[in-house]
């Protein structure tokens, strides 16, 4: 039985048989092409959230579809008991060609990548014979939904129902180096940060803050974990967000856009830090499987051939300029934040994020709402200037209408 075209049945089955942890809009998508999604009725939507920064090369990219299809015909899974050619190739592409790293561990999601990073940091000091286990993270951070990563997340609303949390985490004010320095003890193993806090409203780290964090880590022998689950793979106009700050992390985590929609996570580090894992210390049944790593290698190839990192920077700058102009024109916009194609638009209390998301949805634009007042956009990196500005122009029309109604 196929229910793909029957929205009523899709909703009914979802409500009856799926755990109700999501609050989906009243729509089901059955096709995607480029930056657009099509619902069961054939209506077209500009995808300005990209599966939450996942669909980096858009929907239905012919090279990615071909690569996944061909790999599925040959081999989907064979386990990490054996060598996997595409996994080895992806490790080379990420370490040797793209980043600071020497080694990588592959998993299935951002939360798993961050779990591995936490374990790796603790293991690094354990094998040195040092009792250092504390991880310092920032308030309003988000690192995942496993028990370990909700414990790392600096937002109690994610962990409160599941307490007690995993011990060994401290939380400090974001962009406050004094607060961070005061939290460091001789038990501190790592400082774990997002360079742009995505789930709290797209808040970038200040350049001098990250430089000071790196300096503090060097002086105190602490590992710097860079959570680039959302910001990695070209989204900010650089391969990785740390490049904007002129520093290197010791550990970096990736997921979301790495394989263009196929589940994957990656934890990267230097050779020195990789000593924190010995044979048998960590693992993953599905991590690094042939299908996911083939998809990721193909995404990297597409991004290189189509210069999508540069496109993210150029289109992101154009869009940011337009949004800043709207902010100057409409007091309803409180702030516009972000970098590249990861942007948060925060409204004054008179405009709710949920309402704005719903109005944009009715007009054929998909965004996400964060908290009470901010919408987030993270479209595919293939988006054109014309497509991005069509979103901004629609937002302007909505704001004009809202301003008129408030008079």
Active-site annotation, residues: 142, 227, 256
The residues with which 104 forms a beta bridge, in sequence order, are: 268
> Comparing C-alpha atoms, which of 33, 21, 30 is closest to residue 62?
33
Q: What are phi and psi of 198, to 5 degrees?
A: -80, -50
**202 within 8 A of 338, measured Cβ to Cβ:** yes
Q: Is 335 helix (H, G, I), strand (E, B) or coil?
A: strand
180, β-bridge pairs: none
Tell the residue number behind the tokens 């994610």, with chain if given.
158
Contacts of 258 (CB under 8 A, 6+ apart): 56, 232, 233, 264, 265, 266, 296, 299
What is the DSSP annotation of 305-318? Answer: HTTHHHHHHHHHHH
Residue 76: C-alpha distances to residues 67, 206, 286, 290 (Å)? 12, 42, 10, 6
Of the candidates 40, 62, 42, 61, the residue with the CA atom closest to the CA atom of residue 50:
61
Q: Is the peptide bond before 164 cis (omega within 30 degrees of 0)?
A: yes
CB 289 within 8 A of CB 84: yes
Q: Do 113 and 266 touch, CB atoms closer than 8 A? A: yes
Alpha-helix residue ranges (DSSP H) falling in 75-109:
85-92
- Residue 210 CA to residue 188 CA, distance in Å, equals 18
Q: Counting runs of H as helices and runs of E as strands, what totals does the chain give?
A: 13, 17
């Amino acid at each position: 039985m196929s229910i793909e075209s029957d929205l009523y049945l899709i909703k009914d089955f979802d409500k009856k048989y799926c755990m109700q942890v999501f609050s989906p809009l009243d729509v089901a998508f059955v096709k995607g092409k480029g930056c657009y999604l099509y619902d069961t009725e054939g209506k077209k939507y500009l995808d300005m959230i990209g599966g939450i920064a996942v669909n980096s090369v858009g929907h239905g990219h012919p090279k990615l579809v071909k690569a996944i299809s061909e790999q599925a015909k040959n081999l989907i899974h064979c386990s990490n008991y054996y060598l996997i050619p595409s996994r080895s190739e992806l490790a080379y592409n990420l370490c040797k060609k793209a980043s600071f790293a020497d080694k990588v561990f592959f998993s299935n999601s951002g939360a798993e990548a961050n779990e591995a990073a936490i374990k790796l940091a603790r293991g690094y000091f354990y094998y040195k014979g040092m009792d250092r286990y504390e991880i310092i993270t920032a308030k309003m951070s988000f690192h995942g939904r496993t028990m370990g990563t909700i414990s790392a997340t600096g937002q109690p609303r994610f962990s409160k129902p599941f307490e007690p949390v995993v011990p060994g985490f401290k939380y400090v004010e974001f962009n406050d180096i004094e607060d961070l320095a005061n939290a460091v003890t001789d038990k501190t193993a790592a400082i774990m940060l997002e360079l742009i806090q995505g789930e709290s409203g797209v808040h970038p780290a200040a350049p001098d803050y990250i430089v000071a964090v790196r300096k503090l880590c060097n002086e105190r022998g602490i590992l710097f974990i860079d959570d680039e689950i959302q910001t990695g793979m070209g989204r900010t106009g650089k391969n990785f967000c740390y490049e904007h700050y002129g520093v290197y992390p010791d550990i970096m985590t990736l997921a979301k856009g790495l394989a263009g929609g196929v589940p994957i996570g990656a934890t990267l580090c230097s050779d020195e830090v990789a000593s924190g894992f010995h044979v048998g210390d960590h693992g993953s049944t599905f991590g690094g499987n042939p299908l996911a790593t083939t998809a990721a290698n193909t995404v990297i190839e597409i991004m290189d051939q189509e210069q999508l990192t540069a496109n993210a920077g150029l289109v992101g700058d154009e869009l940011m300029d337009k949004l800043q102009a709207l902010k100057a024109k409409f007091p309803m916009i409180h702030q516009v934040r972000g970098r590249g194609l990861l942007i948060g638009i925060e409204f004054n209390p008179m405009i709710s994020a949920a309402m704005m998301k719903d109005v944009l949805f009715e007009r054929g634009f998909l965004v996400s709402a964060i908290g009470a007042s901010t919408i987030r956009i993270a479209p595919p990196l293939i988006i054109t200037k014309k497509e991005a500005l069509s979103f901004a122009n629609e937002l302007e029309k909505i704001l004009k209408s809202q301003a008129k109604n408030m008079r």
